[in-house]
Amino acid sequence: MSRLDATSLLLSPSPTPPHKPTTPRRLICVVSSTLAALGASLSLLLLVVHSAPAPNYGSLFLSLASNDTAALHLRALTLHPHVAGTRANSLTAAYVCDAFSSLSIPAHITPYSVLLSYPVERSLSLAVPGRATTTSFALSQETYPNDPYASATAEVMPTFYAYAASGSVSAEAVYANYGREEDFAYLASRGVDVAGKVAVARYGRIHCEDIVHNARVAGAAAAVVYTDPLQYGGAPGEAWFPDSRWLPPTGVQVGSLFRGVGDPTTPMWASSEGCERVSVEEAMDTDDMPGIPALPVSARDAAEIHAALGGDAAPADWQGREGSPVYRLGPGPAILNLTYTGNDTMATIENVFAVIEGAEEPDRYVILGNHRDAWTFGASDPNSGTAAMIELAQRLSVLQKQGWRPRRTIIFCSWDAEEYGLTGSTEWVEENREMLSSRAVAYLNVDVSVVGPVQDPDNSSQTVYDSWVKSNISPLIGRLGHGGSDFSAFVQHVGIPSTSMGPGYPIYHSLYDDFVWMEKFGDPGFSRHAAAASIWGMMALRLADEEILPFNYMSYPVELEAYTKVVENEVRGTAISCSPLHNAIRTLKTAATKVNGERKELQRQLSSNQLKKDSMKIRSLNDRLMQAERAFTNREGLFKQEWFKHLVYGPSEQNDWESASYPGVENAIASARKENTTESWKFVQHEIHRVARAITQASVVLAGSLT
């Protein structure tokens, strides 16, 4: 399929029912013709992104930046909404595959059959005793005058939550702030009964799957989650999109309520052809599913609900922005009548891969990934990243024509069904776990590449690194502990060093995440897309081309000491000792210092031609640098979160989008506080020892000698 053919298919209307499995296991694409500040995270290692790799090719790569290329691809990818499992998203897979193939980069599509979820029926109405009329909410997001995508909005799925339980509830409403555990605990302390009620909560601190889970645990019969203007509407009186970047009052943030990762019918293993599966009913009956009906609603609809709530006034930090009416706790007298019917069904998703084979070390993989599926048009999330990835690949294809071949293999990945639960990336990593464990150098993820100003495209006198430092953003990139994007399977399940770029923005997961918003507010001129591709590509070039991997473990002990202090504060007053952690961290510091000195010596020998580039000494050092992260994993996984194997970096059990300091230890402490038994606190000590053993193992790997 030519690129023109793929584009023309994207222009045609596409149905929303799931795309059923009809494709062969592996499809080869044949071409018939032809950063607000940039947010970034690093799982473990400091990559000095401001210094170039091989000077000639690195400089050439940067000189090839094209704003027009990124804009062209973003426009084509966002002509229609493309939810995972639909024909529209299958067409985006063909487009991306063709784009790689047209650059003479071999590409293919790998499909998986997975459990996805779509809306069938939804309704929400508000009744108040004594009122003669009932308010029925439209549950729709309004278009705006002269919206160029107005006709395509008819293809957008109705606002919904994937995997929400089907059912009807009529009950009093209770306001639960951000829907955190502590918010429901506060309601209980005030004598506000949530049992059997409809919990009304706002986005802002945790994601929707955790909000609804907490509501169910508190006894709520259903949940309604809205986008509060305090977080998403700008300052009082400020305009909204299309006149500014802020979310319109009818904007709704949709999402998935699945708290797990990957295909729900293949927990802990890959969704391969002919594989073992649990039934759809069994998958929907686990604790990772919401278990109650739930709906996302707009700020406008939520304002009517708030106006009808009675009871005591909520605390000051539960209130809305200045000028908003007083938020009250309830329960009632507002009664919400909520109905949701979903279609939880098996559908086909499609990952796209393109491979530039390495010349000297083809069995070492530098992997770049971005997901492609979107809840609506996906101009920011995720296709700003997709456009940047294709633009990056185009530059590398020019380098190839100039004689460049990477030392190590570069793999481009366009993931599907990320929005449902990191599904496409998780299934692929689970299916290729052993190969990746032995061969993957690093994984470089971009979810959202651009949603606002990135300083260097606007100030050519300084680098992105310089702007980070001057704007007080640490040049030591933060750690990847949360579970919010496709890096999760790589670093948290296998232990592959990973990075991720992806800041937040006000129109997230709404109808308004379209090309117009990006062109007017996210990246006018598309220079920031080019800058994101430059940063992403330069990291890839360094990892793929440098003889010695540019990993620096010296900052790791500093990080771990900081995490240990957090744990010490949490267990103060108990018999728990963090000495095992301190001892293990000292050992790691010694090993990191040793390997850092060894690397410098080998670099000196390389530069003076005392050592050949293919020396086994270099290979041995690189293997240790690459494998050390794996040592932080444990096959048993985290306490209460067994799929997550990394004992240092992982998501909080209470908030999937928040990193925990030693997540297994954090989970054990949370349980001990609730149970407050000798055994529960003894288990906290056990978890501390487990982490200490993992840190010690990483030290052994770095040192490269048996004990």
Catalytic residue ranges = 418
Closest C-alpha to 662, from 572, 576, 560: 560
| DSSP assignment letter at 489 | I
Q: Which residue has the tokens 């949603």?
A: 451
**How far apart, in whole angstroms, are the C-alpha atoms of residue 380 and residue 449?**
7
**How far apart, in whole angstroms, are the C-alpha atoms of residue 652 and residue 482?**
7
Residues 6+ apart with CB under 8 A from 63: none
Q: Cβ(484)–Cβ(659) under 8 Å? A: no
**How far apart, in whole angstroms, are the C-alpha atoms of residue 607 and residue 564?**
40
**How far apart, in whole angstroms, are the C-alpha atoms of residue 256 and residue 484?**
12
**How far apart, in whole angstroms, are the C-alpha atoms of residue 351 and residue 348?**
10
CA 524 to chain centre: 25
Give residue 634's identity as a one-letter amino acid code.
N
Q: Cβ(486)–Cβ(560) under 8 Å? A: no
Q: Cβ(533)–Cβ(70) under 8 Å? A: yes
Q: Cβ(501)–Cβ(40) under 8 Å? A: yes
**How far apart, in whole angstroms, are the C-alpha atoms of residue 398 and residue 443?**
23
Which token pair is 1? Answer: 């399929």
Which token pair is 105? Answer: 């980069």
- Long-range pairs, 557-562, Cβ under 8 A, ≥24: 557/585, 557/586, 557/588, 557/589, 557/592, 559/479, 560/585, 560/588, 560/648, 560/695, 561/585, 562/661
**How far apart, in whole angstroms, are the C-alpha atoms of residue 512 and residue 153?**
10
**How far apart, in whole angstroms, are the C-alpha atoms of residue 205 and residue 655?**
9
Name the 3-class secondary structure at 279: coil
Q: Which CA distances in Å does 264 have to 83, 420, 427?
A: 18, 10, 11
Closest C-alpha to 320, from 296, 300, 295, 294: 300
Which token pair is 614? Answer: 């293919």
Closest C-alpha to 246, from 451, 71, 78, 502: 451
**How far apart, in whole angstroms, are the C-alpha atoms of residue 42 and residue 39?**
11
